[in-house]
Amino acid sequence: MFDQQLLSIPGIKKLIGKLSGLAVLQALTIVLEAVFLARALVVVWQREKIAALVVPVLSFFVFFALRYLITRIESQITDNFADHAVDQLKEQLLQQEFRLGPRMVADVGSGHVVTLALEGLNQVQNYLDLIVLKTINMAIIPWIIVAYIFFVDWLSAVILLLMFPVIILFMVILGLSAKSKSDQQYAEFKQMANVFVDSIRGLKTLKLFGLSKKYGDNIYRVSENYRKSTMSVLKVALLSTFALDFFTTISIAIVAVLLGQALIVGSIGLLPALIILILCPDYFFPVRDYGDDYHATLDGKNALTEINRILVIPAPHSEVPLVDFQNWAKDSQLDVRDLNFTYPQADQPALSDLNFTLHGDSNVGIIGKSGAGKSTLLNVLGGWLQPDATEKDQPLVVDGQAVDSLAQPAWQKHISYIPQHPYIFAGTIAQNVAFYKPVADKAAIQQAVHQAGLDKFIAELPQGLETVIGEGGRGISGGQAQRIALARALLDTERTILLFDEPTAHLDLETEYELKQIMTKVFHNHLVFFSTHRLHWVSAMDYVLVMDQGRIVEQGTPAELKQKNGVYQELVNEIRGENNAE
Amino acid sequence: MQNKWQQDQWVRPNLKRYRKLLCLVFFLGVITILCGVGLMFVAGYLISRTATHPYNILVVYVPVLLTRAFGIGRPAFKYLERINSHNWVLKITSSLRKRLYVTLESSALFLSEQFQSGKLLGFLADDIDHLENFYLRTIFPIVVAYLTGIVLLIGLGIVSWPYALVMFVLFVIILVVIPLLSQSIQGATRVRQRELVQDSYQRLTDATFGIADWMISGRETEFVQTVRKQDEPAGKLNRKANLFEWNRDFVVKLLFGLMIMVTIGWAALALTGHQESANYATAFTLGIFPLMDSFGAVPQAAEEGPMYQESLNRLNDLSRQVKPQPVKPEHLPAPQSLQKIHFENVSFHYPKTDTDIIQQVSFTVPAGQSLAIIGPSGVGKTTLLELLTGSLVPTQGQVWFDQLPAHDLQAVADQWFSVLDQQPFLFNTTIMNNVRIGNEQATDDDVKKAIQEVGLADLVNELPDGLETDVSENGVRLSGGQRQRLALARILLQDNPVVVLDEPTVGLDPITEQQLITTINRVLAGKTMIWVTHHLQGLNHVNQIIFLENGHLKMQGTPAELYRTNERYRNLYRMDLGE
């Protein structure tokens, strides 16, 4: 029942120790509170003087207050622990995200990563807040109370003791049968919620086809059907709570009646009888408390499992470090030899047997249909994906050094990456441009901004370079975002390798045209990898890799490819279709 | 606040509409608590009474019976209460969902960009869930506790009014003063917490999207710190809120301690006249304990109330924005009789702005011909389409469908226009159902024929369940080109005279794009086509091109004319072809 993962959280043993101590103390205050309350009630019952009440009533209050003071302290200790543990987990999760990089984040799902890091961790916190404390209380408090009752009246103690396994048994039986049903119900519920969101999202479509009015009744009907099926499941599912409640209250009733009979025959005094009666609800309280929150903690348990799963995903890493690589230079050379890459859990390799050699400041176009492996190749070149391990030679050779992977700081500090939607973080334009090189001076930033063709855009802004963009700031167009990413790459002159992944796919023709004038200027003095399916870029390249189904099916200079009249030319013809303007 | 509540259209009407079931839920809730109180009360009395050694167990026959009745009654009523309250809330949810749908459906908003993003829709769907919790976690516990309090006070008032008065004061402190205090101190904190969570969502998403840049920038510590620093205010706020809650709960417990002491004191003063009345001292005292659970939950419930305010506000704001349904004019011509569409000096600006997004635009499209609208992003192409379909009304000039202004067609738009846009929406159902949306009367053969025409027959035949295959949510199982083709099949079934193509090929690779364009031209031949695009590919077949810039018509003519006479067009055309 106790989740094994919890034991690996640092500091949990200390917490268990502390809470156990407090639970023992609390059990004692519960007993003493009951004893003094019973005494006070006996004084009233015996119609003694009011003065006789002072000591027992005040003592009762003191222990009553102490009892709840302990509860309060327990909450605080547990919460501090959970806070700290969740903090640590968050840090680990972020570091892991950083290590895994874009490709892996995309695999796990960026939305999922964010949800886990926020909501998931919240649920974990809730789980830690509840589960440890309630388990310990259940494991300690009832037993101390029942032990005390045993000394007062063994028969009552036996009844209470017998009830405990009955309660647990019923909880388990009903819980199990209800669980499978409610799991199924939960799935239905999810589906129902999806149908609802689906129809709201598709409202425009429904309206266009004149169906939107009719659909409103459909939503109501589906929702009502769902209600009916849910209710039939709930009727069973809630029985477990009913059983728990039923056995606790009925035990109290039985004990009360039994005590009454014992009192009539005089085999027990009023004081012990009252003490037992007062202690009865407290005996059952921890198990009820645990049962009430049990379901609430399930989400947290699952979230913790999921986080632990992500934390152990292997990050791309190099076994063979790249030494003595200063920077990409005119005489640098990259050889790719029999490079293969397979995604985890995939049957087919996403890249198979790639071979090519590049020198100096080549501008390399990577073209091919969607799904040909263009992005995967860029991710391998960026060091975010680990090529398949080979028995023979290492697949990548940088300036004569064979390495197993480009997940190398020495390599990565020289690359820039410009995807379709470049990352613009919340901050000023200057900060965004200086992202790779936060210490850059203003003149250098202005120079980079100028090169990226942003002068006119910035001149129109009242705050110029200090304009806040990104989340919560001024919105910028896709074309401007590309230019800012370009300026970012240009500012850090150490970054001589540029990776472009479909940077203009979503831009309109004129914006693309303008951007092309700027970009082609930048291409000189850089090693450029440019993945695109807009073929006009090919004329700006001096080497082209044509990809299809994870393989390089053709490579060479644009002129060579044209001459060959092979796959490349086929692609060109297909794209032009039947176009003949003249 | 008061006023808002008066105008509320989301919570209040439902409270009224299902009030019978609601009253039952409250009644069961109160009875449940009273059974708990009753059990301890009677048990206390039973023990005190038997301690006087009555000669026979029959003397306490009634209390014995009552003990058992309350012992069984409490769990039974609690069970019934939970079943009924869930039933009630789910009923409400059904009608809230329908209400949200109907509101959105009639809202003039629904064509706006904001809605298309789907983000706001997600919020609204969540808001409905939040309202569920509002009922279950705030309204129910508070109302039940109040009703119980009133019942108990009336009972105590009959026994002894001075005691009832003291208890009244204590009840008021626990049920009214502390909850109000909680709400005023914590309410704002809660709302602020929610905002902070929203913020960190946004920022973390941002950082995650930029993970490649962070990674190659080598600024790991900074990345972690940037994200972590955003947590600090939320963490601080959480600790503050928790501290308040712990202390408050402790104070509430102390008040219960006080209540017990007061009761013992009152019993010692008032009930010790006879042994018979002294037997009740224990009963009254023990009866207080079961209240700790239900009354103790009220401050927390009250505190969470303002959290739902935002959801409620958003929904109510939506209700206020509802515009009246378009009226269907009498004697509308048949859609098939259309001769020409004519933009006559059309200008448009949004209310509360002066800048015309569309300025003095005129052109004519004869029925059965095609027009392409090109130009950079954000120059009003979409606005032009909304004017065409009548969802926007020109501020100057008029859009004519023969002799009829476009907005007169609003009520029957679904019989005039078909729209193919960037991301056609596919419902989470079968391919068959998705296509049949185009025309619900279509036979299976009609659907098959449409699918054949748009070139999806091979794909469908390969699928294990054929036409009955589910497209999973939002059509993710199909590629972009296939989704467009599916949407095109719908349009074929719908068979309207005017087809609006709003950049349907954006995001497709050029080969898929070219193939799709060919198909569109083939299957839609003979229809009036208005085609918004920013690629020149595939425009050779259109009858007319207009080039929009800053709301003006910059160029206008047939593709061949423009290629011959306009250098700018020629440059773009060449680049687009990859020359």
DSSP secondary structure letters along A399-462: TTEEES-S--HHHHTTEEEE-SS----SEEHHHHHTSS-TT--HHHHHHHHHHTT-HHHHHTST
Residues of chain B positioned with their CB less than 8 A from the CB of A539: 578-579
Same domain, A211 and A90: yes
Instruction: Give the chain B residue nearest A264 (alpha carbons).
Output: B53
**A250 in contact with chain B, both atoms CB, cutoff 8 A:** yes
Instruction: Give the chain A residue nearest B515 (alpha carbons).
Output: A577
Asked whether residue A69 is domain-assigned, the answer is: no
pLDDT over 70 (residue A22):
yes
Asked whether residue A5 is domain-assigned, the answer is: no
User: Inter-chain contact A384–B90, Cβ cutoff 8 Å?
Assistant: no
Of B116, B201, B281, the CB nearest to A45: B281
**A435 in contact with chain B, both atoms CB, cutoff 8 A:** yes
**pLDDT interval class at A2 (50, 70, 90):** low
A492 and A445 in contact (C-beta within 8 Å)? Answer: no
Same domain, A299 and A391: no
**A550 in contact with chain B, both atoms CB, cutoff 8 A:** no
Pairs of CB atoms within 8 A across A/B: 413
To test the contact with chain B by mutation, choose from A257, A433, A506, A519 the residue with the greatest count of B C-beta atoms within 10 A, namely A257
Of A209, A242, A252, the CB nearest to B414: A209
Instruction: Give the chain A residue nearest B32 (alpha carbons).
Output: A245
User: Inter-chain contact A210–B57, Cβ cutoff 8 Å?
Assistant: no
> Which of B120, B136, B163 minimizes the C-alpha distance to B82?
B136
**Distance between CA B67 and CA A280 in Å, rounded?**
14
10-residue mean pLDDT profile of chain B (579 residues): values are: 68 83 94 94 92 80 91 93 90 84 68 49 70 84 95 93 94 94 85 79 76 80 78 85 92 95 92 88 93 90 81 78 69 84 89 81 91 79 84 88 86 86 81 86 89 87 81 64 89 90 82 86 90 79 86 85 85 72
Residues of chain A positioned with their CB less than 8 A from the CB of B473: 194, 198
| CATH, residue A159 | 1.20.1560.10
Structure-token match 């749908």, residue found:
B101
Asked whether residue A134 is domain-assigned, the answer is: yes
Q: Where in chain B is the domain with CATH 1.20.1560.10?
A: 2-320
**pLDDT interval class at A76 (50, 70, 90):** very high
CATH annotation of B337-577: 3.40.50.300
Same domain, A139 and A265: yes
Q: Where in chain B is the domain with CATH 3.40.50.300?
A: 337-577
pLDDT over 90 (residue A179):
no
A19 and A77 in contact (C-beta within 8 Å)? Answer: yes
Q: B126 burial class (0-12, 13-18, 19+ CB within 10 angstroms)?
A: middle
Same domain, A150 and A248: yes
**Distance between CA B503 and CA A507 in Å, rounded?**
12
pLDDT over 60 (residue A382):
yes
User: Inter-chain contact A263–B47, Cβ cutoff 8 Å?
Assistant: yes
Residues of chain A positioned with their CB less than 8 A from the CB of B101: 199-200, 203, 215-216, 219
CA distance A177 to chain B (A): 18
The continuous run of DSSP H or E covering B286 comes out as helix B275-288
User: Inter-chain contact A219–B101, Cβ cutoff 8 Å?
Assistant: yes
CA distance B47 to chain A (A): 5
CA B318 to chain centre: 11
**A26-53 tens-digit pLDDT:** 999 999 999 999 999 999 999 888 889 9
What average pLDDT does this structure show over A442-466? Answer: 88
Same domain, A91 and A169: yes
User: Inter-chain contact A277–B47, Cβ cutoff 8 Å?
Assistant: yes
**A516 in contact with chain B, both atoms CB, cutoff 8 A:** yes
Maximum mean pLDDT: which of A370-379, A406-415, A514-523, B40-49 = B40-49
Same domain, A223 and A174: yes
C-alpha distances in Å from residue A304, one per residue of A106, A422, A481, B289: 20, 32, 37, 37
User: Inter-chain contact A252–B39, Cβ cutoff 8 Å?
Assistant: yes
pLDDT over 80 (residue A485):
yes
Same domain, A218 and A291: yes
Residues of chain B positioned with their CB less than 8 A from the CB of A59: none
The length of chain A in residues reads 582
Same domain, A381 and A292: no
Output the pLDDT for position B3: 65
**A253-264 tens-digit pLDDT:** 889 889 998 998
Residues of chain B positioned with their CB less than 8 A from the CB of A510: 376, 534, 572
C-beta neighbour count of A517 within 10 angstroms? 9
C-beta neighbour count of B66 within 10 angstroms? 20
SS (H, E, C) B204-239: HHHHHHCHHHHHHHCCHHHHHHHHHHCHHHHHHHHH
User: Inter-chain contact A260–B50, Cβ cutoff 8 Å?
Assistant: yes
CA distance A123 to chain B (A): 14
Output the pLDDT for position A525: 84
Domain holding A581, by residue range, is: 332-338+347-414+500-507+533-582
Looking at every residue in chain A, the average pLDDT score rounds to 85
Residues of chain B positioned with their CB less than 8 A from the CB of A205: 424-425, 427, 437
**A1 in contact with chain B, both atoms CB, cutoff 8 A:** no
**Distance between CA B421 and CA B510 in Å, rounded?**
17
> How many domains does chain A divide into?
2
Q: What are phi and psi of B535, to 5 degrees?
A: -110, 155
User: Inter-chain contact A264–B577, Cβ cutoff 8 Å?
Assistant: no
Beta bridge partners of B548: B553
Of B102, B264, B575, the CB nearest to A216: B102
CATH annotation of B2-320: 1.20.1560.10
Same domain, A376 and A300: no
Q: A416 burial class (0-12, 13-18, 19+ CB within 10 angstroms)?
A: buried
**A510-564 tens-digit pLDDT:** 788 888 888 888 888 889 999 988 888 888 899 999 998 889 999 999 889 888 8
To test the contact with chain B by mutation, choose from A108, A115, A209 the residue with the greatest count of B C-beta atoms within 10 A, namely A209
User: Inter-chain contact A245–B272, Cβ cutoff 8 Å?
Assistant: no
B291 and B33 in contact (C-beta within 8 Å)? Answer: yes
Asked whether residue A125 is domain-assigned, the answer is: yes
Asked whether residue A578 is domain-assigned, the answer is: yes
User: Inter-chain contact A264–B208, Cβ cutoff 8 Å?
Assistant: no
User: Inter-chain contact A110–B286, Cβ cutoff 8 Å?
Assistant: no
User: Inter-chain contact B216–A413, Cβ cutoff 8 Å?
Assistant: yes
Same domain, A351 and A307: no
Asked whether residue A96 is domain-assigned, the answer is: yes
Output the pLDDT for position A82: 93
Asked whether residue A53 is domain-assigned, the answer is: no
Q: Please give the model's pTM, rounded to 2 decimal places.
A: 0.80
Same domain, A358 and A256: no
**A194 in contact with chain B, both atoms CB, cutoff 8 A:** yes
Asked whether residue A525 is domain-assigned, the answer is: no
Q: Dihedral of CA B537/B541/B542/B546: which sign?
A: positive
pLDDT over 90 (residue A279):
yes
| CATH, residue A582 | 3.40.50.300
Instruction: Give the chain B residue nearest A84 (alpha carbons).
Output: B235
Same domain, A160 and A231: yes
